A and B are shown apart, each in its own frame.
Chain A
Amino acid sequence: MQGHLNYLTASIFFIVCTSLTGFGQIENSKAIGQVIYHQQADLLEGKNTNGISYLFFNTSASLYVQTGAPESALITQNLEDFSYNSGDKLDFSIYKDHRARKIWFSTFCYKRELGSHCVVEDTLGATEWLIDHSAHKRFGTYQCLKATGHFRGRDYEVWFTPDIPISSGPFKLGGLPGLILEGRSTDGLVQFIFQRLELSPDLPRKIQKPEGFYTGLSYEENKKAFVDNVKKIAEELNAEGGAQITVGEMPANAWIEVW
Chain B
Amino acid sequence: MVRLNKFFGLFCCLVCALPVQGQRLLTGTVRDSLGRPVDFATVTLRCAANQQILAYTNSDETGAYRLQWSVACDTLLVAARMLGFQPAEKTCFAGDVVDLTLTAAPNLLREVVIRQDALPVSGNRDTTEFRVASFTDSTEFSVEDVLKKLPGMAVDDNGRITFRGKPVERVLIDGDDMFSDNYVIGTRNIRADMISSVQAIDRYQDNPLLRDIRTSERLVLNLKVKEDKKLKPSGSVTLGGGWGDEAKWYGHANLFSLNSGPKTYLIANANNTGENPMGNIRFMAKGGAEAYLRGGVSLQNSPLNSAEALNVRPPDAFMLPTAYTMYNRNGVAYLGQIIPWNTKVKTKVSGWVSGEKLKQDQSRQTLYKFSDEDVLNIGESQHQTQTNQMQYLQAETDFFTEKTGLRSFSNFSAQQDNDLLRLLRTPQNEPFTEAESALDVNIWETYHGLEWTQKTGVNQAIQTLVQYTERNNDGLLSPQYDQYAPYFGLDSSFAFLTQPVTQHSRQTVVTTRWLVRKGISNLILETGLNHSSHNLESNMSLSSENGETYTPDPTEFGNDMTYTQPLWFLNGSWARQTEQLRMNVKLNGSYAPVVLDQLETKKRQLWMFQPRANVAFLLSPRATLSASVQSVQRLPSPTNLFGGYLAQSYAGVRRGFSDLGLIREQNVSVGYRFDNNTRQSSFNASVSAAQTNNAFGSSYLIDPYLTVVQGFRPVQMQNLSAMGGTSRYFSNIRSRFEVGVQWQYSREPNRVNSTEEQIFEGQNWSLMFKYGTAFDFWLNIFVESRTMLFSSSPDNGEDEPLRSQYFVNALKLVAKPVKNFSLTLETRQIASRNQNDPFQAYYAMDGDCTYTISKWRSAFTLSGNNLLGAAAFERVSASTFVQTSSAVAAVPGFVYLRWTFQL
Is A140 on the interface with B (CB-CB < 8 A)? yes
How far does the Cβ of B898 sit from chain A's closest Cβ, in whole Å? 36
Indicate with 1 or 0, residue by residue over A169-203, a CB within 8 angstroms of chain B CB atoms.
Answer: 00000001110000000001101011111111110
Residues in A whose Cβ lies below 8 Å from that of B41: 165
| Stretch from A68-76, A88-96, A224-232 forming part of the interface with B | A68-76
- Say whether B111 contacts A59, CB under 8 Å: no
Residues in B whose Cβ lies below 8 Å from that of A145: 53
Cα distance A245–B131 in the bound complex, in angstroms: 44
Cα distance A133–B579 in the bound complex, in angstroms: 41
Number of CB contacts from chain A to chain B under 8 A: 164
- Say whether A200 contacts B111, CB under 8 Å: yes
Say whether, besides A32-B109, A47-B621, A199-B110, A18 and B36 are in contact (CB < 8 Å).
Answer: yes
Is B95 on the interface with A (CB-CB < 8 A)? no
Is A141 on the interface with B (CB-CB < 8 A)? yes
| Stretch from A35-43, A109-117, A235-243 forming part of the interface with B | A35-43
Cα distance A189–B679 in the bound complex, in angstroms: 12
| Stretch from B116-124, B703-711, B770-778, B790-798 forming part of the interface with A | B116-124
Is A2 on the interface with B (CB-CB < 8 A)? no
- Say whether B580 contacts A44, CB under 8 Å: yes
Q: Which chain A residue has the least Cβ–Cβ distance from B37?
A: A18
Q: Which chain A residue has the least Cβ–Cβ distance from B85?
A: A23
How far does the Cβ of A160 sit from chain B's closest Cβ, in whole Å? 10
Cα distance A194–B352 in the bound complex, in angstroms: 44
- Say whether B520 contacts A162, CB under 8 Å: no
- Say whether A83 contacts B620, CB under 8 Å: no
Within 8-63 of A, Cβ neighbours of B (below 8 Å) are at 15, 18-19, 21-23, 25-26, 32-33, 38, 40, 42-45, 47-48, 50-51, 58-60
| Stretch from B56-64, B339-347, B821-829 forming part of the interface with A | B56-64
- Say whether A59 contacts B83, CB under 8 Å: yes
Is B51 on the interface with A (CB-CB < 8 A)? yes
- Say whether A196 contacts B115, CB under 8 Å: yes
Cα distance A196–B56 in the bound complex, in angstroms: 26
Residues in A whose Cβ lies below 8 Å from that of B211: 72
Q: Which of B42, B519, B622, B678 has the most CB of A within 10 A?
A: B42
How far does the Cβ of B625 sit from chain A's closest Cβ, in whole Å? 15
- Say whether A197 contacts B519, CB under 8 Å: no
Cα distance A38–B123 in the bound complex, in angstroms: 11
How far does the Cβ of B523 sit from chain A's closest Cβ, in whole Å? 15
Describe B's contact surface by its main secondary structure: loop
Cα distance A99–B39 in the bound complex, in angstroms: 9
- Say whether B83 contacts A199, CB under 8 Å: yes
- Say whether B116 contacts A196, CB under 8 Å: yes
Residues in B whose Cβ lies below 8 Å from that of A131: 52-53
- Say whether A165 contacts B36, CB under 8 Å: no
Residues in B whose Cβ lies below 8 Å from that of A15: 62
Cα distance A158–B621 in the bound complex, in angstroms: 23
One of A18, A23, A200, A202 near B82 (C-beta < 8 A): A23
Is A166 on the interface with B (CB-CB < 8 A)? yes
Is A163 on the interface with B (CB-CB < 8 A)? yes
- Say whether B44 contacts A50, CB under 8 Å: no
Cα distance A74–B459 in the bound complex, in angstroms: 10
Cα distance A43–B618 in the bound complex, in angstroms: 11
- Say whether B109 contacts A22, CB under 8 Å: no
Indicate with 1 or 0, residue by residue over B98-138, a CB within 8 angstroms of chain A CB atoms.
Answer: 00000000001111111110110011110000000000000
Number of B residues contacting the other chain (C-beta, 8 Å)?
54
Residues in A whose Cβ lies below 8 Å from that of B580: 44, 81
Cα distance A86–B446 in the bound complex, in angstroms: 43
- Say whether B82 contacts A165, CB under 8 Å: yes
Is B40 on the interface with A (CB-CB < 8 A)? yes
- Say whether A78 contacts B519, CB under 8 Å: yes
Residues in A whose Cβ lies below 8 Å from that of B111: 198-200, 202
How far does the Cβ of B9 sit from chain A's closest Cβ, in whole Å? 15
Residues in B whose Cβ lies below 8 Å from that of A48: 124-125
Within 287-332 of B, Cβ neighbours of A (below 8 Å) are at none
Cα distance A73–B714 in the bound complex, in angstroms: 55
Is A139 on the interface with B (CB-CB < 8 A)? yes
Is B599 on the interface with A (CB-CB < 8 A)? no
One of A68, A77, A139 near B519 (C-beta < 8 A): A77
- Say whether A253 contacts B42, CB under 8 Å: no
Is B369 on the interface with A (CB-CB < 8 A)? no
Residues in A whose Cβ lies below 8 Å from that of B42: 162, 165-167, 177-178
Cα distance A193–B81 in the bound complex, in angstroms: 25
Residues in B whose Cβ lies below 8 Å from that of A196: 113-116
Q: Which of B36, B83, B621, B678 has the most CB of A within 10 A?
A: B83
- Say whether B114 contacts A165, CB under 8 Å: no
- Say whether A40 contacts B82, CB under 8 Å: no
Within 190-225 of B, Cβ neighbours of A (below 8 Å) are at 211-212
How far does the Cβ of A81 sit from chain B's closest Cβ, in whole Å? 5
Residues in A whose Cβ lies below 8 Å from that of B62: 15, 18-19
Is B50 on the interface with A (CB-CB < 8 A)? yes
- Say whether B108 contacts A21, CB under 8 Å: no
Instruction: Identify the 5 closest CB pairs spanning chains A and B, nearest first.
Output: A140-B114, A165-B42, A177-B56, A165-B81, A42-B621
Q: 8 other contacts beyond A18-B63, A22-B38, A40-B119, with CB at 8 A cut-off?
A: A4-B3, A40-B122, A68-B124, A74-B212, A81-B580, A98-B58, A165-B83, A197-B113
- Of the A-B pairs whose beta carbons lie under 8 Å apart in the complex, a sample of 18, sorted by A's number, is A42-B678, A44-B580, A51-B124, A59-B82, A80-B520, A81-B578, A99-B58, A133-B51, A133-B53, A142-B114, A167-B58, A177-B44, A193-B118, A196-B114, A197-B112, A197-B114, A198-B114, A202-B111
A interface vs B, CB < 8 Å? 4, 7, 15, 18-19, 21-23, 25-26, 32-33, 38, 40, 42-45, 47-48, 50-51, 58-60, 68, 70, 72, 74, 76-81, 83, 98-99, 131, 133, 139-142, 145, 162-167, 176-178, 188-189, 191, 193-202, 253
